[in-house]
Amino acid sequence: MAWWRRKKEPLERGKGDQKVSVPRGLWSKCDGCGEITYTDEFVQNLRVCPVCGHHHPMPTHERIAAMIDPETWELLDTELRSGDPLQFEDKKTYKSRIAKAERNAGSGDAFASGIGNIDGVPVSAGFFVFEFMGGSMGSVVGEKVTRVIERGVELKRPVVLFSASGGARMQEGILSLMQMAKTSAARGRLRDAGLPYISVCLHPTTGGVAASFAMLGDIILTEPRALVGFAGPRVIQQTIGQELPEGFQRAEFLLEHGMVDRVVSRLELREHIGALLRLLQNTPRRAEEARP
Amino acid sequence: MTNKVLDFERPILELEGKIRELKLLSAGSEEMASEISKLERKAQQLQKERFAKLSRWEQFQLAKHPDRPYTLDYIGELIDDFVELRGDRAYADDPAIVSGIGRFAGRSIVVMGHQKGRNTKENVYRNFGMARPEGYRKCQRLMRLADQFRLPLLCLIDTTGAYPGIGAEERGQSEAIATSLELMTRLRVPTISVVIGEGGSGGALAIGVTDRILMLEHAVYSVISPRGCASILWKNPEAERTAAEQLRMTAEDLSNLGICDERIPEAVGGAHRGLTVTANAMRTALSRHFDELASMSEEDRLNARYKKYRSIGHLEVAAQTGTPPTDE
Ligand SMILES: [Zn+2]
């Protein structure tokens, strides 16, 4: 089983070997099968249930640690903050929502961008911070995604984007919608430069993010059971007035309908991306790399 | 005509009705005639004043007025020798979008636009102007055709949004829209979009990544419908009027936000009260913008288009960087 093979991996990052110090009281219950495991082991296993393989949501810093090779990540564009172009106010002001999200998510907006290596391949990469207002894309996210892509062109590096987003950020109105055009334009330039772009659609990727760069990868990967689609299930249900079929818009559904290339276990994702980038760029296999 | 009357249209329509009655009664009396023309001027003035201060919610109502001219109405006014071209060559033809070739001001052009229906039967056929993936893929085909034959592209935007349905998801609604967005940034020909009614989110933008974005005076363009926004942020769809105000979706708002390049004046009282007047104003604006774009080199146009979208966004720079996620 794949997850056993990878089980020691997180130890290399100096996190897992403190297992003994975790109080015995810390348990995690699987959302898939109800199995109870030690939280520490659960986190080491990238929040994938060792029994049923259910993939649980993962904080962005853990995601970055799991996908980027140790000691290679350089976080960039951290100074960008959202303005409030519409002076938007619903039950709360947009400004107060941003301030709260920044405190809770520990991120300036819903995207973390930088450069680093994935399985030995230098890339320009970006990660949605779903914890920040549902990973919604406003001006800052659009700008950061665009910079990740442009940096790929500039540094001649492949681009890898990990999306997890409810879509455009309503509080920035039309400016959010236009980020779809902006990021897609940048994606075109990467295509012209002949550099690979792997889009990883994580749970969930919908709306304006799905309907722009996330669906424009040369290769599109997703994790088991991840929900990826244009309209949210609730909206569709309200529109058509009937129950949605089991597994609708899930990763396996997308695979069946030809919308993604592969559904990849989180425990194999990093190596998988590395192998694909080496194949796309016609560079040699890593010495220790197993054949896919 | 559905003869639907919006609340803010009623006083003017009533006054106009009275004027018509007076005309019948006056039977050519000179005294009455001068009185009537005074009243007519007053009605015009009243209308102008009222329409100059429409709330955003009222603008939104006007933008989706059931009598408002649709894509085929403008094609009828503006495009000679129009030939509709159909189908995405992969799955189906989507009647929610009309596309084809024709002549604008004497030169060949590719035209496409969302098409709503006038009655229930038409709306079933047109799916209320809400396109499925095959609609956007038909547009891609026509966009490539425009590029291949170096024909300018005109896109008329008028949709509540891309259709949220099971089949649409199965056939890749996201992919279809995304591919259209990228394709439009790469077309070598002059491209203009005009929001003629409702610019609803990604389904509108999918034919809207153009060198120029024009809007009819009473059109709206938004990231989400006021009702959708109200359901999510206010947890109450009935808060849609408030949401409409917050979303800043009118042509004037979009001009102020730097998205709309030009507002095209409509007939007094809205495009549905004067199609020809509105179409003429559109023709004038389109000719001017197409001439400007045609005078640029392909490379300059592509660079200008990239810059246009690249620069959209409202950013601030934090005095000190926060504590973003790291792998430490
Ligand atoms: Zn489980």
Query: Where are chain B's structural domains?
Result: 7-53, 60-310
Question: A168 and A258: one domain?
Answer: yes
- Which parts of chain B register pLDDT below 70? 1, 320-328
Give backbone dihedrals phi and psi of B236, rounded to 5 degrees, phi first: -160, 110
Distance CA A115, CA A50 (A): 31
- Tokens read off for B227: 């009702």
DSSP letters, A109-170, are SSEEEEEEEETTEEEEEEEE-TTTGGG-B-HHHHHHHHHHHHHHHHHT--EEEEEEE-SB-G
Would you state the pLDDT for residue B30? 81
- Tokens read off for A138: 């406003």
Question: A230 and A140: one domain?
Answer: yes
Q: How many domains does chain A have?
A: 2
Q: Which of B205, B314, B326 sits opposite A177 (nearest CB)?
A: B205
Q: B206: which chain A residues are within 8 Å (Cβ-Cβ)?
A: 211
At residue A9, does pLDDT exceed 60? no
Q: B215: which chain A residues are within 8 Å (Cβ-Cβ)?
A: none
Would you state the pLDDT for residue A76? 97
Would you state the pLDDT for residue A15? 35
Question: A81 and A9: one domain?
Answer: no
Q: What share of chain A is helix, strand, coil (3-state, %, to 5)?
A: 40, 20, 40
Question: A37 and A66: one domain?
Answer: no
Residue written as token pair 């639907």: B4
Question: A97 and A49: one domain?
Answer: no
Residues A279-289 have pLDDT tens digits of 999 999 887 76
Would you state the pLDDT for residue A26? 87
Q: What's the DSSP call for residue A55?
A: B
Would you state the pLDDT for residue A68? 98
A94 lies in some domain = yes
Question: A199 and A232: one domain?
Answer: yes
> Can you list the pairs that A255-258 forms with residues at least 24 positions away whose Cβ atoms lie under 8 Å?
A255/A222, A257/B170, A257/B171, A257/B172, A258/B172
Beta bridge partners of A102: none
A159 lies in some domain = yes
Q: Would an 8 Å CB–CB cutoff place B71 in contact with chain A?
A: no
A251 lies in some domain = yes
Would you state the pLDDT for residue A118? 98
Would you state the pLDDT for residue B4? 86
Q: Domain of residue A75: give its range.
A: 58-280
Question: A201 and A222: one domain?
Answer: yes
Distance CA A223, CA A202 (A): 6
Q: Which of A182, A210, A215 sits opposite B312 (nearest CB)?
A: A182
Q: How far is the CA of A247 from the centre of ligand 1 (A)?
A: 17
A12 lies in some domain = yes
Using pLDDT thresholds of 50, 70 and 90, give the confidence band for residue A21: very low
For chain A, give the mean pLDDT.
90
Q: Which of A112, A179, A239 sits opposite B325 (nearest CB)?
A: A112
Question: A203 and A115: one domain?
Answer: yes
Supply the CATH number for residue A131's domain. 3.90.226.10
Q: Is the dihedral of CA B102, B107, B112, B113 positive or negative?
A: negative
Q: Is the dihedral of CA A224, A225, A228, A229 positive or negative?
A: positive
Q: Look at residue B236 and give its three-state secondary structure.
A: coil
Using pLDDT thresholds of 50, 70 and 90, give the confidence band for residue A16: very low
Q: How far is the CA of A45 from the centre of ligand 1 (A)?
A: 12
How many whole angstroms from its chain centre is CA B325?
A: 41
A289 lies in some domain = no
At residue A227, does pLDDT exceed 90? yes
Distance CA B172, CA B180 (A): 12
At residue A160, does pLDDT exceed 90? yes
Instruction: Report angle CA B258, B261, B262 to the nearest 5 degrees.
Output: 125
Distance CA B80, CA B238 (A): 44
Q: How far is the CA of A50 from the centre of ligand 1 (A)?
A: 7
A267 lies in some domain = yes
Question: A100 and A146: one domain?
Answer: yes
Question: A23 and A166: one domain?
Answer: no
Lowest-pLDDT range of A17-21, A103-107, A240-244, B218-222: A17-21
Other residues' Cβ atoms within 10 Å of the Cβ of residue A204: 25
- Tokens read off for B161: 């949004």
Question: A47 and A66: one domain?
Answer: no
Q: Look at residue B219 and give its three-state secondary structure.
A: coil
Q: Would an 8 Å CB–CB cutoff place B248 in contact with chain A?
A: yes
At residue A14, does pLDDT exceed 60? no
For the domain made up of B60-310, the CATH class stated in words is alpha beta
A155 lies in some domain = yes
Q: B306: which chain A residues are within 8 Å (Cβ-Cβ)?
A: 185, 189
The CB-side HSE value for A80 (13 A sphere, CA atoms) comes to: 21
A165 lies in some domain = yes
Q: Is the dihedral of CA B275, B278, B280, B282 positive or negative?
A: negative
The answer to whether the peptide bond before residue A204 is cis (omega within 30 degrees of 0) is: yes
Q: What mean pLDDT comes out for the span A152-166? A: 98
Q: B169: which chain A residues are within 8 Å (Cβ-Cβ)?
A: 229-231, 236, 248-249
Q: Which of residues 170-229 of A touch B (CB under 8 A)?
A: 170-182, 184-189, 191, 207-208, 210-216, 228-229
> Rounded to two decimals, what is the model's pTM?
0.93
Name the amino acid, one letter, at B8.
Answer: F
Other residues' Cβ atoms within 10 Å of the Cβ of residue B27: 7
Q: B229: which chain A residues are within 8 Å (Cβ-Cβ)?
A: 170
Q: What mean pLDDT comes out for the span A136-164? A: 98
The CB-side HSE value for B251 (13 A sphere, CA atoms) comes to: 24
Other residues' Cβ atoms within 10 Å of the Cβ of residue A41: 15
Question: A26 and A101: one domain?
Answer: no
